[in-house]
Structure 1
Amino acid sequence: MWGSYCDNALEKRTPYRQAHLDGLAQQKEQGILITLGPTKDNTKVFGIYEAESETLVRQLIESDPYWQNSIWTEYQIKEWIQAF
């Protein structure tokens, strides 16, 4: 998953950050989320999910407080083939 952050995301995310992190931790414990984080300049977000379907990944992203509160402004999901 690649997505974009809103302007001033570091400031705007504050009220939603703990709920966001708790949700990601739960996804990680379930084995669905492999990794997720921002680019160094905090303009993009990148995540790797191992899920049964793209629909499930979309549901997880769209239920995240960052998506629901417009901290993430858009996202794309690209199916990835692990070569190594």
Structure 2
Amino acid sequence: MWGNYCEDVLEKRAPYRQAHLDGLTAQKERGVLVTIGPTKDLAQVFGIYDAPDEATVRQLVEADPYWQNGIWTSYEVKEWIQAF
């Protein structure tokens, strides 16, 4: 998953950060989230999910407080084939 952050992300994410992190922790514990994080410039987010289909990833992203509150402003899901 590649997505974009809103302007002034550090300030705007503050009220939702703990709920966001708690949700990601739960996804990681269930084994559906491999890794996720921002680019160094805080412009984009990149995540790798181990999910059965694109719809599952979209459901997880759209249930996240960052999506629901406009911290993530857009995203796209691309299926990835691990070569090694």
TM-score (norm 1): 0.99
The aligned counterpart of 2:26 is 26
| Unaligned residue ranges in structure 1 (runs of 5+) | none
C-alpha displacement of 1:74: 0.1
Superposition pairs of residues 1-84 of structure 1, within 5 angstroms: 1-84=1-84
Q: Deviations over 1:29-81 (max 9, x none)?
A: 00000000000000000000000111010000000000000000000000000
- The 2-side partners of 1:15 and 1:9 are apart by 11
- The 2-side partners of 1:45 and 1:35 are apart by 11
In the alignment, residue 61 of structure 2 is paired with which amino acid? I
Secondary structure in 1 matching 2:36: strand
Aligned length in residues: 84
TM-score (norm 2): 0.99
In the alignment, residue 20 of structure 2 is paired with which amino acid? H
| RMSD (CA atoms) | 0.3
- The 1-side partners of 2:60 and 2:10 are apart by 21
% identity of equivalent residues: 70
